[in-house]
Amino acid sequence: MRPRAPSMPDWRPAAYWLLLTVRDAILKVRELATAEFATLRARLLKNRQVVEKPDANVGAVED
């Protein structure tokens, strides 16, 4: 593992609390409400990839 720069903040606690908040906000009847953080992280990353690849037709101007 590569050592971090001393001035770099440790984002792991913030990421933990963010995922905990997301999990608590999900309705209890949904399967993600009891999901592990690895599952939530995977779903969030999958959704991010979809957003980062916009459709070529979105925003196209037709004459």
Delimit the domains of the chain by residue range. Answer: 27-53
pLDDT at position 63: 47
Mean pLDDT, rounded, for 45-54: 64
pLDDT at position 49: 62
pLDDT at position 43: 77
What confidence tens digit (pLDDT) does each residue in 11-47 have? 778 888 888 888 788 777 677 667 777 777 787 777 7
Entry pTM = 0.38
For residue 19, is it left (φ>0), alpha (ψ between -120 and 50) or beta? alpha
pLDDT at position 32: 67
